[in-house]
Amino acid sequence: MRILMVGDVVGRSGRYFFMEQTPELKQQKKIDMVVVNGENAAHGKGLTPNIFAELIRSGADVVTSGNHIWDNHTVMEIIDTEPFLLRPANYPEDTPGKGFCIFPVGKKNIGVINMAGRTFMQPPMDDPFRLTEKFLAFMRKKCDVILIDFHAEATSEKLAYAHYFDGRVTAIVGTHTHIQTADEKILPKGTAYISDLGMVGAENSILGMEIEPVVKRFLTGRPSKFEVAEGAAIYCALLIDIDDKTNKPVKVSRIQLKERIAADEIRGRQG
């Protein structure tokens, strides 16, 4: 089995490149399942019903998210009804939506958990370690493979979380920081890992946003309005090969694709 886990999709450039590349990747690399983080897909802020549908039509099977999932209020129209749309599980219990799902692939059940870190993150969340323990208590009985999108800021927290659950889940991938790390590996007890998948968004940007307003905020210390960057995109993901007999990962491959588009097309996207 081959599973592709894709980094945060940011804005229109990210959506277009995800829509263009994902079907081709699935066919070329014989991918069985795609998990993508969509919390920034709607102009860099949240997710809408139409954009969720776009991601699914383009090849996503499960869409995870993070602390920006609420930035576009229209997500409330689908957060409770779409079975494969997730928000971090460690929000308070009465929060709309759900933090896990089980997706069937052939005769196997693939469990996906969406969890958020607490270090340097807002708003405050419940303990992801103890809550994941509770999830695993019943998911391991129902699932052949378990994947976790750990949406967190600090690499130390991501690594601590991964080593704590090493050998008890199939894969743990970090999201949120939008910069793909080069530490993809299979941990000592058998869990596939990367500190951050990266993003699908404009390459010439700061985390998918226009450069100048971000620099201005650092220079002045004053608020400045961030706008999603347009232009040639980058597609970052992790491909995980899983042994069909043992359900354990045997290989991880970091994917980074770069778009090349003409200047007139860039201007058209901005229009």
Bridge-based pairing state of the strands 171-175 and 108-116: unpaired
Mean pLDDT of 131-158: 97
Q: What single string gives the DSSP state of each residue in 129-144?
A: HHHHHHHHHHHHHH-S
Label residue 265 by pLDDT band (50, 70, 90). Answer: low
Distance CA 120, CA 244 (A): 38
Label residue 123 by pLDDT band (50, 70, 90). Answer: confident
Mean pLDDT value across the chain:
95
- Sorted by where each begins, the domain ranges of the chain are 2-270
Mean pLDDT of 214-229: 92
User: One-letter amino acid identity for 262?
Assistant: A
The tokens of 23 are what? Answer: 């079907």
**pLDDT at position 270:** 47
Q: Where are the beta strands (DSSP E) in 106-224?
A: 108-116, 145-151, 171-175, 185-186, 192-194, 199-202
**pLDDT at position 256:** 97
Label residue 143 by pLDDT band (50, 70, 90). Answer: very high
pLDDT in tens, 88-100: 999 998 999 999 9
CB-CB contact of 125 with 89 (8 Å) = no
Distance CA 240, CA 223 (A): 40
Instruction: Please state whether 39 falls in left (phi above 0), alpha (psi between -120 and 50) or beta.
Output: alpha
Catalytic residue among 43, 68, 151, 176: 68
pLDDT tops 80 at residue 264: no
Query: pTM to 2 decimals?
Result: 0.94
In the chain, the percentage of residues whose pLDDT exceeds 90 is 92
CATH architecture of 2-270: 4-Layer Sandwich (3.60)
**pLDDT at position 269:** 53
CB-CB contact of 91 with 69 (8 Å) = no
Cis-peptide, bond into residue 96, ω within 30° of zero: no
CB-CB contact of 97 with 66 (8 Å) = no
CB-CB contact of 58 with 27 (8 Å) = no
pLDDT in tens, 21-70: 999 999 999 999 999 999 999 999 999 999 999 999 999 999 999 999 99
68 belongs to the catalytic site: yes
